[in-house]
Structure 1
Amino acid sequence: MAGSIQSVERAAAVLRLLAGGERRLGLTDVASTLGLAKGTTHGILRTLQQEGFVEQDDASGKYQLGAELLRLGNSYLDVHELRARALVWTDDLARASGESVYLGVLHKQGVLIVHHVFRPDDSRQVLEVGAMHPLHSTALGKVLTAFDPVAHREALEVERQRFTPRTVTEPDEFEGVLDITRARGWAADLEETWDGVASAAAPVHDRRRMPVGAVGITGAVERVCEDGEIRARLVAAVRDCARAVSRDLGGGRF
């Protein structure tokens, strides 16, 4: 059996130490507690910080666990519980809207589709569970980016590809889209990812009031839109579905 990797063991020890106390720890505290040289400890902390596993307080310079580590720690439970809780509600949304329904979560700088309900007609459709959708152009992606700080950072770090003439790629304009999404509580994709296709999505929150995913509908523009906007009844149906799943996850009313 191959031996352990010392650098990984040390990084794990740093994370365990930061997880074990209620206060932030400075470089000297971490180094002395673990018996490591300051230079080695600083390198580990800086690497963990770059990956989002550790955060440094600007005022004190001390370190604490980062949002990315907390999100990963709950990801397995969240995804599986999210899908289980959403099954009935997404089926209802597909019947009510007449469109395909998608449930997505943040994964590797994109949206991972974890559940897909076919449009309730006799048309030929392809199951997209496991597919990756972009953060910056899809309704699911915009919702995650607007409400999840980790998704927001990742959406700004990656190159935002222009899929259609309507795709928003410039940082300032994209931030404006996110502001609108936060203000109204849902996002739209009006032919920004695929020509002739529109979608609407809303966030799903868990018992910690954290966004753990997004649910939305997707369909042909002529069915989903009216006067260039997502039909109000479809927006209401998507938001009702998101609220219902959130309540089942312990998120309460919002």
Structure 2
Amino acid sequence: MDNGQRGIQSVEVGGQLLVALVESGKPMMLREVAALAEMAPAKAHPYLVSFMRLGLVEQDRASGRYELGPLALQMGLACMRRLSPVRIGTDAIVELAPEIGQTVALALWGNHGPTIIRIEEASAAVHVNMRAGSVMSLLGTATGRVFAAFLPAKLIETFLEAGQREATVGNEAARHMSREQIEAALVEVRQKGMARAVGRPIPGVNAFSVPVFDQSGSVALAITAIGPEGTFDADWESPIATKLLECAAKVSERLGSPSNRSHQAA
């Protein structure tokens, strides 16, 4: 993003080669790297030589292919060590709530299941029995279904057997779901990339919940928007749904989530 500060154009030009290597994810010949960076091979080569001297790039002597070097790996690991999903997610929902005019909650997988860790109220707060520390039903709430859809199937099955009779928010609505209904609900979440609750488990209240993925491609958080049905458009293509998906995608990107992949439950 251009913030008005003066930069060095040659660094930015050469940086496109590093971007190309990152996005490719595989060793490439000079002409391939240059093509992805949209520059001539003769122009790209000196940059790659300099990057090799720094350790940002390395070249296989046998094949001549270029890939990211040890310094690039060290930089990536250093970045990941300082990242906090909760901090980044919290910053995101603080901005999102006033933008969409709805209450937004952040949840993670806790010892007892999907657990709310932060709630950012909208200007017109919705009255629901939910607060930081609330454990949400795995199947009876949009937040829970996000985790059920994207966590490993064995973990979910074990949890369902052991915990669905506990007093969690929205659990009553889930107790009478058949196996077919459960599977259909989770398939819908994976296909849409988000879960939806319309008037349930709380009558008159709608919700969308979207997963956030970390660098390993695992679901790390759920971001949930909640609001009264009178002001909360629950259409899959609504502005609320779109903004929520965009927010989760940005947080996932910050956490190093692999791009252009289909997140499926293992």
Return the TM-score normalized by structure 1. Answer: 0.60
2:104 maps to 1:101: yes
1:247 to 230, 233, 253: 253
Which residue pairs with 2:193 in the alignment? 185
Partner SS, residue 222 of structure 1: coil
- 1:182 alignment partner, SS class: helix
- Note the C-alpha offset of 1:173: 0.5
Residue of structure 2 in register with 1:22 after alignment: none
Question: What residue identity is the alignment partner of 2:181?
Answer: E
Structure 2 CA distance, aligned partners of 1:168 and 1:146? 18
- Counterpart of 1:132 in structure 2 is 135
Q: Kindly state the Cα deviation for residue 253 of structure 1 after the two structures are TM-superposed.
A: 3.6
CA distance in 2, matches of 1:201, 1:124: 18
Q: Which residue of 2 is the match for residue 205 of structure 1? A: 213
Q: Distance in 2 between matches of 1:219 and 1:241?
A: 17
- Equivalent pairs: percent with the same residue? 21
In the TM superposition, residue 84 of structure 1 has moved relative to its aligned partner by 0.5
Root-mean-square deviation (CA, aligned residues, Å) is: 2.9
Residue 122 to residue 90, structure 1, CA distance change in 2 (3 Å): closer
Q: Tell me the residue number matched to 1:152.
A: 156
Give the letter for the 2:157 counterpart. R
Larger radius of gyration: 2
Name the residue aligned to 2:49.
none
Q: Hey, what's the Cα distance between the residues in 1 that align with 2:87 and 2:94?
A: 12
Distance in 1, Cα, partners of 2:214 & 2:125 = 35
| Contact map agreement 1:111 1:135 (CA 8 A) in 2 | yes
Aligned twin of 1:119: 122
Output the TM-score relative to the length of structure 2. 0.58
Amino acid aligned to 2:245: R
Cα deviation digits, residues 70-121 of structure 1 (max 9, x gap): xxxxxxx99x922111122111210121111111112234211111111134
Conserved 8 A contact 1:109-1:151: no
Q: 1:123 to 1:214 in 2, by over 3 A?
A: closer
Aligned 8 A contact 2:137 2:164 in 1: no
| 1:222 equivalent among 215, 226, 230 | 230
Any idea what SS the aligned residue of 1:133 has? Answer: coil
List aligned pairs for 1:62-81, cutoff 5 A.
81=84
| CA-CA distance at 1:154 after TM superposition | 4.2
Question: Does structure 2 retain, via aligned residues, the 8 Å contact 1:225–1:231?
Answer: no
Aligned partner of 1:232 in structure 2 is 238
- Extract unaligned runs of 5+ from structure 1: 1-76
Q: How many residues align?
A: 174
SS at match of 1:132: coil
Structure 2 residue aligned with 1:46: none
Cα displacement (A) at 1:153: 2.0
Shift of 1:146: 0.1
